[in-house]
Amino acid sequence: MPRMFSAREMEGFQKDGYVIARNLAAPAVVQTMREVTEAALAAETAPLEYEADLHYPGAPPSRAAPGGHTVRRLLQAYARHAVFRDWALGAPVAARVHQLLGAQVMLSQAHHNCIMTKQPRFSSITHWHQDIRYWAFERAELVSVWLALGPERVDNGGLLLLPGSQALDFAPAQFDEAVFFRPGLAQNQKLIATQIAAELNAGDVLFFHCRTLHAAGRNETAVPKFSVVFTYHAADNHPLPGTRSADTPEIAVA
């Protein structure tokens, strides 16, 4: 029987919108994932997303510019290699997402399902946002599972979180046209002042709610930062027909 979240950890998730499981992935799994990631980056194996394509602050202005082929994400992780499939559906993750979401859980292949590859020099800033902003489900109740393949700190672009933000109701005016949380508003600044850094080491896993506000800075170090991210939802929380969320077959989590 795999070790599961304690009652205190479950309470923390409900209160703060996130919980961290330390040393959840075995070193051998982390090492294999790193090797697969580094090989895919070297070959620029599609599908992938370039920093230059998103135009976030700090990214190269185009693929033709210096750093223009800096990869931001290797997409479709589940289909890339058995090590990612085994992790996404394996007991350490499955037991915990069942605790958080219920007896019947689905893995989304439409959202996250990627390896984040934050590179030195040309990585970008991601402003405060909720992941649910561009997902379409019957209920805003999804959980993302973020596995660190190495140290994650503020200086290499590790995640920042606003504890408890998943439980708050926001007015549309608190977000800009791209649905990023507006840092210039006084009411938003009070919440942003509560931010914490989700400091992780290789093998640590961050579970966070799709409404939890989070952000990340650039990688200011000389070493790339890799993270594997999958997203889950209850089987009775269906993606809305005709949306991107419904475009890709989902996977049942045993």
Report pLDDT digits (tens) over 131-147: 999 999 999 999 999 99
What is the reported pLDDT for 3?
81
Given a cut of 50, is residue 216 above it in pLDDT?
Answer: yes
> Over the chain, what is the mean pLDDT?
97
Burial 212-231 (b: 16+ CB within 10 A, else e): bbbbbbbbeeeebbbbbbbb
What is the reported pLDDT for 2?
63
Given a cut of 80, is residue 1 above it in pLDDT?
Answer: no
Percent of the chain with pLDDT over 70: 99
Given a cut of 70, is residue 208 above it in pLDDT?
Answer: yes
Domain ranges of the chain: 7-253
Report pTM: 0.96
Q: In the structure encoding, which two tokens stand for residue 220, read together?
A: 């200011």
Q: Where are the alpha helices (DSSP H) in 22-90?
A: 27-43, 51-54, 77-80, 82-89
The H or E element containing residue 101 is helix 91-101
What is the reported pLDDT for 61?
94
- What's the CATH code, domain 7-253? 2.60.120.620
214 closest CA partner among 160, 145, 135: 160
**Number of other residues whose CB lies within 10 A of the CB of residue 203:** 18
Given a cut of 80, is residue 19 above it in pLDDT?
Answer: yes
